[in-house]
Structure 1
Amino acid sequence: MTNTNAETQQLGPIRQWIKDHPTIWEFIVFNVLSNISTIARFVVTWIGTAVFVAGLGLTAPFHFLIFNYPESGNGLGGFLTFLFAEVIAQVVNFFVQMKWVFKSDSSFKDAAWKYAILAVVIVVVNLVLPGYVTSLCQGWGLNAGLAGTIASVVNTVLAVVVSYPLLKFWIMPKNKDAKASDAE
């Protein structure tokens, strides 16, 4: 795309770069604003670990179907911690992504059921994985809080890799008019 010098000066170099690279900018905004749900996930993980593991001592092994939270993975308390953390993070993320990142004009009900499917997949994976990651980290000598934080980081990275393309193209696509104006 060729821009005149006057256009570049009027927009400024950063805004011009954003205009010239809307998809890259959207991915950057997606990652930056995803941190709102990531912060929610971490806060709930820390609170849950303090309440369920340290406070209530719910560290008895928890094994149900695909979920495996041995005592070294904080047991039932670890499972409850990650369950609450994931549910809160996914609710926060839905609204952030729909309204601020993708600025989707999809109807709430059309996007919500699709997001619910994605969220269930993410939540199940993010509930299965932490038991193993936490146990591994504690086996390396890390404390419960740090092990839980590392498990949350692993969950977050995995969620980004899976969710961005699904959100952009399936759950929260822009209508054709919005796509045409973005391409200009």
Structure 2
Amino acid sequence: MNAFWERHAALREFLLFNLLSNCATLVNLLATFVGTHVLFRAFRDRPFSFLVFQYRNIREDLGLAGFLSFLFATALAQTVNFSVQRKLVFRASGDAGKAALRFAGLALFLTLISAALPAYTLPRFGILGSAVLNIVLQVAISFPAMKFWIMPEGTREKKAV
């Protein structure tokens, strides 16, 4: 099995990248719950609107509490995602600060896309189709960005699989 993964290192990275991204998803779900029900509960009755972030229907999106929970959960989940991807998938040993800044830029870009995209995709593809399209787009952008820009080959430890 090790010989297979050595011959197909890019496939191994891609599969591991997707599998371990679920760590960030779990953190995001937990942090969203804690944010909306504990940390920012007092702001649930205040509508919020800024650029593509529209949290105006407090019964459905929890207003300012929903937005603050979204920010909290996203920041926490992406911190976990960066650490997991850096150490376990790409095995990067290069400048962590430089990689973290690049990753933060990528995370901000992806967050804006995922916040804005449903307004355009929901009417045409429905909830499930919109979610799938969003996930595919996120992976299509994030995997190559992390592999070639944030944690390129020259910044990786050489380890046997």
Corresponding residue for residue 111 of structure 1: 99
The 5-angstrom pairing of residues 120-135 of structure 1 reads 120-128=108-116
Distance in 1 between residues matched to 2:5 and 2:109, nearest whole Å = 32
Which protein shows a greater Rg? 1
Give the counterpart letter for 1:161 in structure 2: A
- Give the aligned length: 152
Q: Percent identity?
A: 39
Distance in 2 between residues matched to 1:18 and 1:157, nearest whole Å = 24
CA displacement at 1:125 relative to structure 2: 3.2
Matched, 1:21 2:8: yes
Change (3 A) 1:156 1:128: same
Instruction: Provide TM-score, normalisation by structure 1.
Output: 0.67
CA displacement at 1:161 relative to structure 2: 2.8
Structure 2 unaligned residues grouped into runs of 5+: none
Instruction: Provide TM-score, normalisation by structure 2.
Output: 0.75
Q: 2:42 pairs with 44, 52, 56, which one?
A: 56
The Cα RMSD (Å) is 3.3
Distance in 2 between residues matched to 1:125 and 1:173, nearest whole Å = 24
1:28-76 Cα deviation digits (max 9, x unpaired): 11111111111111111222232368x4361432111221112133221
Distance in 2 between residues matched to 1:119 and 1:50, nearest whole Å = 25
Distance in 2 between residues matched to 1:154 and 1:49, nearest whole Å = 26
Distance in 1 between residues matched to 2:31 and 2:133, nearest whole Å = 16
Give the counterpart letter for 2:78 in structure 1: Q
CA displacement at 1:178 relative to structure 2: 6.3
CA displacement at 1:160 relative to structure 2: 2.5
Structure 1 unaligned residues grouped into runs of 5+: 1-13, 141-146
